[in-house]
Amino acid sequence: MTDVTLDWCTEQDAHDPLGNYRSRFDIPEGVIYMDGNSLGPLPVGVSEHVASVINNEWRDGLVKSWNDADWINLPERTAAKIAPLIGAAAHEVILADSTSVNLFKTAAAACKLNPGRTQILSEPGNFPTDLYMMEGLASFLGGDYHLDTVAREDITAAITDDTAVVLLTQVHYITADMLDIGAITKAAHNKGALVVWDLSHSTGAVPVDLHAANADMAVGCGYKYLNGGPGAPAFIYVAERHQNVIQQPLSGWFGHKAPFDFVDEYVPSTGIKCMLTGTTGVLAASALNKALDAFAGVDMALVREKSVALTDLFITLTESKLKRFDVGLATPKNSARRGSHVSLIHPNAYAVMQALIERGIIGDFRAPNHLRFGITPLYLGYSDVFQAISALEEVLKSGVWREEKFSEKSAVT
């Protein structure tokens, strides 16, 4: 790709088969939003839907709405919209809790299914909550249970007859390096181990096919590419073959076979509902349920094709315009190994990003020195990428990022 101009990008946008999907998102005027892998923007219709849930279902319907508005089945109904995005059947997915809680539940269940094995295997540099939860799980289980971490490229070789569960994130949250779910799952199964996949930086951005990969369990986030809003609930996938034999540790009343019998003894529900714990947060789940309508009719193959094209463009422009400013690339050039974001390296990444945000180009900073840009094909175009790199070039060329205000770190970076 040579001699890329804004006019060329505008021409690509004019013929983009996904171009019309941008109208499904309520993005502020003058903003190029490249942080959808931290918090997706507000989809059109969500505000009105949540207001209706509050004013009609909650205010008018009151407690009757658990039945009349079908709040009780909101986890299943929402999960049914997620299932096609991860290559799963609707009855294998449920909306529940947070990603962190779901990591604990699924990994603990995997250990229970693999008695006598005491190793939990992951990678250093995985998203911190994944490692923290596995450290906590190993400590809680006690005995010989332990967490080991090895480099991504060494994972399959590190799986042994003592490995109970392998916990990995498909798309690395900083580098965007993307693992082969099928190959790693097969390698784990060959050793008798189970695998839990964290799809938080995959779902809604890259095609996922858990059935084709013969996956065991997976979890994912509702507020990133699925655009469910800040703190949106997460989801759990459990392959049908593991359902009804799986035992998760947080046996709350919504996971009970008959929660409204109010009996003392816990009897797990059948199927995927056994992974539920407590009462559904109806407002948050309703927001996510409506937000998922933005994916109605979306061909994930086209999403992937555009994602590759946009990230290729981003990398090409970075190499042609930014190398002289001490900017490095943390993301694989090989598109087959790349998710849907690009991370750049700069010694003053935090200040540079803050200066860029002030110009309406919103990405994020990841310690210690990464500028991270989420490339979300449903609402970003070629012109957006060109303008973002041009703005970044100007920030670096002018040195404006050196202003003291851009180095003052906020609580959330």
Please identify every residue annotated as catalytic.
Answer: 127, 198, 223-224, 372
Taken as a whole, the chain contains a residue count of: 413
Instruction: Compute the C-alpha angle 187/86/370, nearest 5°.
Output: 80
Beta-ladder partners of 178 = 171
**Residue entry with tokens 């009349």:** 68
Query: Letter for the amino acid at 322?
Result: L
Task: Write the Ramachandran bin of 339: left for phi over 0, alpha for psi from -120 to 50, otherwise beta.
Answer: beta
Task: Write the Ramachandran bin of 306: left for phi over 0, alpha for psi from -120 to 50, otherwise beta.
Answer: alpha
DSSP 36: T
* Beta sheet of 341-345, edge-to-edge order: 328-329, 341-345, 370-374, 364-366
| Structure token pair of residue 326 | 């001490």
| Structure token pair of residue 308 | 């590759």
The alpha-helical segments, DSSP class H, found in 6-45 are 6-14
Query: Letter for the amino acid at 173?
Result: Y
Q: Residue 213: what are its φ and ψ, rounded to 5°?
A: -85, -5
Contact status, residue 244 vs residue 267, Cβ threshold 8 Å: no
